[in-house]
Amino acid sequence: QKEVEQNSGPLSVPEGAIASLNCTYSDRGSQSFFWYRQYSGKSPELIMSIYSNGDKEDGRFTAQLNKASQYVSLLIRDSQPSDSATYLCAVNHFGNEKLTFGTGTRLTIIP
């Protein structure tokens, strides 16, 4: 079983709709959760971080964390063509210096 799992996609969403990206993790000791966006041929860039159960909102992005069910999700409201990218979920165990990444979900926003 992979430590961090994401649906590889591709996930196609109409422009203006809500895109929902999901990530599950196996280590119950995980404490920190990150979403990165990676455009084709570019490096990953941080979008959101979340550490507590519940929702965290930043503009059009909302991260949701449920530690009991071991999943973290990213919602993108009012999806734009510029949101088309691969989204990487990363997880960190408390006090651990290393992140574990999922393989990413490719998102395509259809105009």
Q: Which is nearer to another protein, 88 or 109 (CB)?
A: 88
What is the closest distance, in whole angstroms, from the C-beta atom of residue 59 to another protein in the complex?
Answer: 18
What is the closest distance, in whole angstroms, from the C-beta atom of residue 97 to another protein in the complex?
Answer: 4
Q: Which is nearer to another protein, 28 or 98 (CB)?
A: 98
CB 32 within 8 A of CB 51: yes
Rounded to whole angstroms, the Cα distance separating 14 from 60 reads 15
Q: What is the DSSP string of 23-39?
A: EEES-TTEEEEEEEEE-
Q: Which is nearer to another protein, 4 or 79 (CB)?
A: 4
Indicate the residue type of 54. Answer: G
Residues near another protein (CB under 8 A) are: 31-32, 34, 42-46, 49, 51, 88, 90, 92-99, 101-104
Query: Residue 39, CB half-sphere, CA atoms under 13 Å: how many?
Result: 4
What is the closest distance, in whole angstroms, from the C-beta atom of residue 9 to another protein in the complex?
Answer: 13
